[in-house]
A = this chain, B = another copy of it.
């Protein structure tokens, strides 16, 4: 079992023998769950680090009508719910349900702190995992922000097109500064969104004149 545990990112660089020794010194639990067992509920305070030793779990949200929707699968030997373990608001946002028969190593956060103290590699691995998760979420946020600006631009451009019915080219009635302010975004973000839309062959801009090159793709952007 310890060789499986040692494959988890949190124990990277630590061999099975060392893992056995380390876990001997700190309180932990190893639990086995049958398939389709709810092991934690949305809203529960997240006070444990969960390390999947065997099997697979999923995050599940429940909609207003009580219908259950899968959000994400997590497979051994990954950890889960680790990134907000030490936050002031540390409530789970989803139910955690087993997909298969699942074996999980559970370490209470105060014991994890003890582990961090006794083993520098575990601390570094934890910091690396959570930092990477932070970078990932920040990138997603940046991507979605950019996409949101593009959708605003498409709405604006199609609105201009309706006002200028029949014309191939039409005038943008605002400067980039004014547009950025109108959309409530920064100018570099707006410029980047416009630049990408030009590069993707959706529109052509010459000074203040705009021409729609790929109307179908623009319309599709309003929904996907």
Q: 1/0 per residue A112-125: CB within 8 Å of B?
A: 01001100100110
| List of B residues within 8 angstroms of A195 by Cβ | 64
Q: Which of A190-211 contact B (CB under 8 A)?
A: 191-192, 195
What class of interface size applies to chain A in its complex with B?
35 or more
| List of B residues within 8 angstroms of A2 by Cβ | none
Binds B, one of A19-27, A30-38, A134-142: A134-142
Separation in Å of the A33 CB from the closest CB of chain B? 24
Closest to A68 in B: B188
Contact B63 A188 (CB under 8 A): yes
Expressed in whole angstroms, the Cα–Cα distance for A223 and B141 within the complex equals: 18
Separation in Å of the A66 CB from the closest CB of chain B? 10
| List of B residues within 8 angstroms of A152 by Cβ | 151, 222-223
Is there a chain B Cβ closer than 8 Å to A40's Cβ? no
- Chain A residues in contact with chain B, CB under 8 A? 61-65, 67, 69, 71, 83-90, 113, 116-117, 120, 123-124, 127-128, 130-135, 137-138, 140-141, 144-145, 147-148, 151-152, 155-156, 182-184, 186-188, 191-192, 195, 222-224
